[in-house]
Structure 1
Amino acid sequence: MILPLSLGFMGRFGRSAPLRAFDADLRALDLHPNLVPEAVKLAALRILMEKTGGREPISARRRAAVELLAYCMLGADPFARANGIVLTEDIESRIDAALDDETGNDAKLILLALHANVIQPSVVERFRLEAESG
């Protein structure tokens, strides 16, 4: 079963619950949802849904994904000012771990940010990130 992620039928029913929750998580991390391309949100949710058989991801997993994307998009200093040093250091540890295990969700989300060109250059430089094409 594939959960519909985009707008309701003909725009009549509004945004899906997973997208509304994703937007709320972005706001909670001081990143306005309009700054995140809709395609990035949809792709991130699809990455999370791969492990749930198409069902909506639990809120903790969704929140963790949004934290990683927000860090990538804001950069270390703005993210730390808005969300604290403890969460910032946790995200940085997750990025380090994702570089060692390129098959996990965190690695996929980082790669998504790279390919969508929404990642801060300071994050790319700090972690020496690069996306292989081909």
Structure 2
Amino acid sequence: MAKRRSSLGFLGMFGRSGDLRQLDDALRGADLHPALVPEGVKLTIVNLMKDHWPNEPPSRAYPDVARLFSYCIAGQEAFERSNGHDLRLDAERRIEAALETGDSFDAQMVLMTLHAKLINAEVVERYGLAAG
């Protein structure tokens, strides 16, 4: 079965694909306005999700992905103010686990945020991240 493609829409004639709409909603839920994220980065996120979940990414995956992405961009304090202490701790646990495994989905998300130059400098420093 061929994988479904994502679509940004075109001149208002064709709508955005459902996966991009779900990601936009999840980003808003994580207190990150989707307009602050370049469309190419969003396409990369949904493509990573499609690679990770061989069928279709489950709807519940979008908020989890958006929270990790939002933490990487906002940093510890801003993320906690918007999302709460427990979700901050969860994002930090996921980053630490990603750094240990090195090739997990979460590691790919952190690395993509780093390469896109969207990552918060405090997150880079705290976790000793480097593109290389």
Shorter-chain TM band = over 0.9
Partner of 2:27: 26
Q: Distance in 2 between matches of 1:8 and 1:66?
A: 21
* TM-score computed with the length of structure 1 as normaliser: 0.91
1:11-40: CA deviation from partner (whole Å, max 9, x where unpaired): 522111100110001111111000011111
Residue aligning to 2:38: 37
> Counterpart of 1:71 in structure 2: which amino acid?
Y
Query: How large is the Cα RMSD of the aligned pairs?
Result: 1.4
Match of 2:72 in 1: 72
Aligned-residue offset at 1:51? 2.7
| Counterpart Cα distance in 2 of 1:80 and 1:51 | 27
Amino acid at match of 1:74: A
- The 8 Å contact of residues 29 and 63 in structure 2, kept in 1 or not, is answered as no
Structure 2: state its 5+ residue gaps: none
2:28 and 2:34 in contact (8 A); partners too:
yes
Give, in angstroms, the shift of residue 78 of structure 1.
Answer: 0.6
Q: CA deviation at 1:7?
A: 2.6
- TM-score (normalizing by structure 2): 0.93
Q: What one-letter code is carried by the residue in structure 1 that aligns with 2:79?
A: F
CA distance in 2, matches of 1:34, 1:8: 15
Q: Measure the CA separation in 2 of the matches of 1:60 and 1:23.
A: 14
Unpaired runs of 5+ in structure 1? none
CA separation in 1, counterparts of 2:77 and 2:104? Answer: 25
Q: What SS does the corresponding residue of 1:112 show, helix, strand or coil?
A: helix
Contact 1:18 1:56 in 2 (8 A): no
C-alpha displacement of 1:6 = 1.8
Describe the superposition over 1:24-63 as per-residue Cα deviations: whole angstroms up to 9, x where unpaired: 011111110000111111111111101333x431122222
Counterpart residue type for residue 19 of structure 2? P
Identity %: 44
